[in-house]
């Protein structure tokens, strides 16, 4: 058995039949990556350093305690110039040796690690400790070259050890699992620490330590760090569910009980699996590979439903835990490449690529029919990472085109004058005032490596392993001195029988003798996502009679219909969000003919549902264009099924906002003289939406905005709301009407209080401010805006489109389809070859009738925590009615609690 996994034995074996990208074009794209990095890095140094992160919309640094709290997301900030440390080895990879040397000197002179501040153990380990170790590796490599860093005397390594010692108190638990947070100055114990009371942590938070801690031990010769990291990994392995060999998402650090028993490869678990395989690569310990192989077999058996990766319950792995996926799982195809399992990597990557092309970026979460579930996108690098690894393994120029798409979208939609801004909503193109450190640490590394030739690189990347934050650790550490007495909870050889697992990457010329095979794998997935592939009707043998049940006749409360579905292998689940999901398991049908009937029924139901979906509208945008906003603030708004269709208007509707009297708009408007030619602001409730529209239209308004009366509601935490008519003709309504949740509506109300006139633009998507102010001088404060007006054009805003349903091509594919709100029940369809869904399905009694004939278009995000299980409220939260506009804007940009928990897992 070889002691080391052969990295990238697959090079170039799977070339595409498409034309190779010319060397000149690759070089141009590589230089474009460098220019984009310079734009981001220089703006951080000019406007933010020594702060931890750059706020690219307001061109200033984010300092913890000086900006409104974002909850757990801020645990990554420790007043230690996070972005600079996270970027050190990127500078070297991009051939910026002079800048690297200057950056190291700044870190040594300016950064303090003894701050009285509570930080995430996980984030501090992968970003700061990993950044220092990656910087040290690069410094040693340059010093050995004899031209640069000749003055370097392991100063970064000394800082890394200092930080490692400050993290060690978190591991003082009976289980060996670390506390999720630690005070850099005071540790865990004592009232001055302001931490140490937590009981839960995510699996990834405890299982993503081994690379950095083992590297620190082997660089310094002190085994204590590697010993603690191994103990945590051993404990997680022991606590796996023995029947399924899966791990849960959240675990109690004292008792080892699973707090959340859902299991997947995304948020909360992802990098635990990554570090099992990479610990074997870096350290040469076969125990880690054995464990990874056993986990991987279970992932492919229960979680992988190509091209989807869906969470399951660890004790009932045939029972799906949810019907949506989070964007963090985009790293998994890259990990499959390292494993040598290329086919599913190609399939899942293609699904992610098609979702990216549909929405410009991967939404934070998306459903099994590829619709937006959570609309944020904080410029995550995982898709770029998998793109690089697949290109490295296959040499297929198709992945260079995928990289070009990433570059183009970043420049078109995320680039702003002071850097790159995260997307608040991929559907409307609105931004968040954040540029996370991982954007510089990871995104530009993988994109540069994707387009660079070997001679463009300052060193051989094959001599290093990438951490989960893309920091570079040398493989030579496998032979570095380390204690042989490090305790490890080794399991019996019988339990770890892995005779069926490969120990080296396979020869892909034997796996895929046809060079067109990767393209053949991608084609049906592309067709499934964009719904461009016709489906032939299932074959029925002659004389088999009529199908037992047609989709148009189905009634979910008819016992006979349910029995017919059971015979066809179709089961029914009542989801908590009110939808009814149909799941087909071909293997559970009573006969092959019944299974074919089930396939036909599912296809008919999807066609029926798609007719309803055609009536659903995408989100709209309300852009505040008056002083001091000047188009920088874009609010996500729900559409109406009546009135002006803003998607057919090239200019939208622009006007000043006036509060209607009465505020409900349910009777004749009494301030019509002020409403004339303005956009009316109304409150939801007391009457139908169409009635409100008629009253303000009669008063002379040119548009209307309805604000939710449910205090605290927000587009972050609630599904998109679509306003329906009143059951009769609405052809008489000719003005546009949009819906704002309470939190976004308060931004307008507070703006009206502080400024006499507030002008807004109602449109189908956010507009380029150069177009909004065309013919007029651009306001000077646009430097703080969210669009580079010198480069953007009107097409550079994310188009708000409703994704189409997913039509299965084969029985292994999965889809969820929602019926129109006017239907008695919403039905979601899922088709797959797994065992039946069990008894944990939600009760139908949880269905809520749509209010005012409107209702959610997308399922609402769950309120359950996504990894560590904490329910800490953001600091400084106050009543929005008493906040200033600036405070409301900052508050509005806070992520929902579950989203914050996902951030903490793998930012």
The Cα–Cα gap between 331 and 302 comes to 18
Task: Give the HSE-up count for residue 437: Cα atoms under 13 Å, Cβ half-sphere.
Answer: 35
Q: Which two tokens stand for residue 174?
A: 């009976």
- 150-154: which pairs have CB atoms within 8 A and are 24 or more residues apart? 152/104
Q: Which two tokens stand for residue 710?
A: 């449910």
- Of the candidates 89, 347, 350, 382, the residue annotated as catalytic is 382
The Cα–Cα gap between 339 and 835 comes to 27
- Of the candidates 270, 597, 818, 895, the residue annotated as catalytic is 270
The Cα–Cα gap between 722 and 735 comes to 16
Backbone torsion region of residue 828, taken as left when φ is above 0, otherwise alpha when ψ lies between -120 and 50, otherwise beta: beta
Q: Which two tokens stand for residue 706?
A: 């309805």
DSSP reduced 3-state for 256? coil
Q: Which helix (H) or strand (E) holds 901?
A: helix 897-905
The Cα–Cα gap between 496 and 248 comes to 20
Is 123 one of the annotated active-site residues of the chain? yes
E strands along 19-152, which residues? 53-55, 60-62, 118-120
E strands along 576-702, which residues? 579-585, 620-624, 633-637, 653-659, 679-683
Contact 711, 742 (CB under 8 A): yes
Contact 428, 763 (CB under 8 A): no
Contact 60, 48 (CB under 8 A): yes
Q: Which two tokens stand for residue 888?
A: 């409301």
- 742-754 and 885-892 helices cross at what angle (nearest 10)? 160
In 3D space, the residue among 9, 90, 4, 11 whose CA is nearest the CA of residue 44 turns out to be 90
Q: How many CB atoms lie within 10 A of CB 640?
A: 29
Backbone torsion region of residue 795, taken as left when φ is above 0, otherwise alpha when ψ lies between -120 and 50, otherwise beta: alpha
The Cα–Cα gap between 349 and 876 comes to 41
Q: Which two tokens stand for residue 436?
A: 């996370």
- DSSP string of 398-460, one letter each residue: HHHHHHHHHHHHIIIIIEETTEE--EEETTTTEE-S-B-HHIIIIIHHHHHHHH--GGGSSS-
DSSP reduced 3-state for 830? strand
The Cα–Cα gap between 89 and 864 comes to 37
Is 270 one of the annotated active-site residues of the chain? yes
The Cα–Cα gap between 124 and 437 comes to 12
Which residue is it, tokens 């602001």? Answer: 681
Backbone torsion region of residue 846, taken as left when φ is above 0, otherwise alpha when ψ lies between -120 and 50, otherwise beta: alpha
Q: Is the peptide bond prior to 367 cis by the omega test (within 30 degrees of 0)?
A: no
The Cα–Cα gap between 120 and 180 comes to 6
The Cα–Cα gap between 702 and 737 comes to 9
- Of the candidates 350, 364, 425, 852, the residue annotated as catalytic is 364
Is 382 one of the annotated active-site residues of the chain? yes
- Of the candidates 67, 123, 894, 897, the residue annotated as catalytic is 123
The Cα–Cα gap between 656 and 665 comes to 18
The Cα–Cα gap between 383 and 812 comes to 23
DSSP reduced 3-state for 272? helix
- Max distance between CA atoms of the chain, in angstroms, equals 87
Catalytic residue numbers read 123, 270, 364, 382
């Amino acid at each position: 058995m070889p002691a080391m996994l052969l990295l990238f034995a697959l090079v170039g074996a799977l070339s595409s039949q498409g034309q190779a990208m010319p060397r000149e074009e690759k070089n141009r794209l590589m230089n474009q990556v460098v220019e984009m990095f310079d734009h981001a890095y220089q703006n951080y140094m000019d406007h933010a350093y020594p702060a931890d992160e750059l706020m690219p919309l307001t061109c200033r640094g984010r300092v913890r305690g000086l900006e409104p709290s974002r909850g757990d997301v801020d645990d990554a900030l420790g007043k230690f110039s996070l972005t600079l440390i996270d970027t050190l080895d990127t500078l070297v990879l991009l051939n910026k040796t002079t800048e690297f040397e200057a950056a190291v000197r700044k870190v040594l002179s300016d950064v303090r690690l003894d701050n009285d501040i509570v930080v995430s153990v996980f984030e501090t380990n992968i970003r700061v400790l990993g950044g220092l170790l990656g910087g040290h590796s690069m410094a040693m490599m340059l010093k050995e070259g004899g031209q640069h860093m000749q003055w370097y005397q392991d100063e970064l390594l000394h800082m890394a050890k200092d930080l490692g010692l400050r993290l060690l108190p978190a591991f003082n638990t009976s289980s060996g699992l670390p506390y999720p947070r630690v005070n850099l100055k005071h540790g865990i114990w004592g009232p001055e620490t302001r931490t140490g009371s937590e009981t839960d942590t995510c699996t990834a938070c405890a299982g993503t330590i081994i690379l950095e801690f083992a590297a620190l031990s082997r660089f310094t010769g002190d085994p204590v760090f590697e010993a603690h990291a191994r103990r945590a990994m051993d404990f997680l392995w022991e606590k796996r569910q023995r029947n399924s060999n899966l791990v849960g998402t959240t675990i109690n650090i004292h008792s080892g009980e699973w707090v959340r028993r859902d299991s997947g490869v995304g948020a909360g678990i992802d990098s635990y699996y990554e570090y099992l395989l990479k610990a074997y690569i870096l350290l040469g310990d076969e125990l880690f590979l054995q464990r990874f192989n056993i986990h991987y077999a279970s992932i492919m058996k229960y979680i992988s439903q190509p091209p989807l990766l869906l969470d399951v319950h660890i004790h009932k792995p045939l029972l799906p835990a949810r019907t949506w996926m989070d964007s963090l799982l985009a790293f998994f195809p890259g990990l499959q490449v390292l494993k040598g399992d290329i086919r599913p990597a190609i399939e899942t990557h293609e699904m992610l690529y098609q979702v990216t092309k549909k929405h410009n970026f991967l939404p934070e979460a998306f459903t099994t029919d590829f619709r937006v579930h959570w609309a944020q996108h904080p410029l995550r690098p995982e898709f770029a990472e998998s793109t690089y690894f697949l290109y490295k393994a296959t040499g297929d120029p198709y992945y260079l085109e995928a990289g070009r798409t990433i570059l183009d979208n970043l420049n078109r939609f995320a680039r702003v004058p002071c850097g790159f801004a995260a997307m608040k909503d991929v559907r409307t193109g609105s931004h968040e005032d954040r540029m996370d450190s991982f954007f510089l640490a990871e995104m530009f590394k993988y994109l540069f490596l994707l387009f660079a030739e070997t001679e463009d690189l300052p060193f051989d990347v094959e001599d290093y392993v990438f951490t989960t934050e893309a920091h570079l650790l040398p493989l030579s550490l496998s032979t570095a001195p380390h204690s042989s007495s490090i305790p490890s909870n080794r399991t019996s050889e019988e339990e770890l029988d892995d005779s069926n697992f490969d120990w080296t990457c396979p020869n892909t010329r034997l796996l895929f003798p046809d060079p067109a095979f990767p393209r053949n794998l991608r084609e049906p997935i592309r067709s499934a996502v964009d719904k461009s592939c016709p489906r032939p009707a299932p074959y029925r043998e002659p004389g088999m009679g009529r199908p037992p049940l047609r989709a148009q006749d189905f009634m979910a409360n008819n016992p006979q219909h349910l029995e017919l579905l059971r015979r066809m292998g179709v089961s029914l689940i009542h989801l908590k969000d009110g939808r009814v999901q149909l799941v087909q398991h071909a293997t559970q049908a009573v006969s092959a003919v019944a299974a074919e009937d089930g396939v036909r029924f599912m296809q008919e139901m999807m066609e029926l549902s798609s007719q309803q979906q055609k009536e659903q509208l995408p989100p709209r945008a309300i852009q505040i264009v008056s002083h001091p906003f000047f188009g920088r603030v874009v609010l996500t708004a729900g559409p109406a099924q009546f009135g002006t269709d803003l998607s057919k208007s090239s200019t939208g509707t622009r006007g000043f906002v006036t509060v209607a009297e009465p505020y409900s708009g349910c009777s004749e408007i009494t301030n019509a003289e002020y409403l004339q030619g303005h956009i009316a602001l109304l409150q939801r409730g007391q009457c139908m939406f169409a009635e409100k529209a008629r009253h303000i239209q009669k008063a002379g308004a040119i548009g209307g905005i309805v604000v939710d009366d449910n205090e605290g509601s927000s587009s972050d935490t609630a599904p998109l709301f679509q306003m329906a008519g009143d059951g009769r003709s609405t052809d008489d309504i000719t003005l546009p009407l949009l819906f704002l949740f309470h939190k976004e509506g308060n931004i307008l109300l507070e703006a009206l209080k502080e400024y006499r006139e507030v002008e807004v633009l109602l449109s189908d998507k956010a507009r380029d401010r150069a177009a909004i102010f065309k013919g007029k001088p651009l306001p000077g404060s646009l430097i703080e805006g969210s669009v580079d007006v010198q480069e953007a054009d009107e097409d550079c805003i994310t188009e708000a489109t409703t994704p189409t349903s997913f039509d299965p091509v084969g029985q292994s594919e999965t889809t969820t389809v929602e019926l129109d709100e006017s239907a008695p029940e919403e039905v979601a369809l899922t088709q797959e070859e797994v065992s039946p869904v069990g008894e944990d399905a939600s009760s139908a009694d949880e269905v809520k009738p749509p209010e005012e004939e409107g209702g959610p278009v997308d399922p609402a995000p769950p309120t359950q925590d996504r990894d560590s299980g904490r329910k800490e409220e953001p600091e400084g939260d106050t009543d929005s009615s008493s906040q200033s506009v600036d405070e409301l804007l900052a508050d509005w940009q806070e992520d929902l609690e579950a989203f914050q928990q996902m951030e903490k897992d793998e930012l």
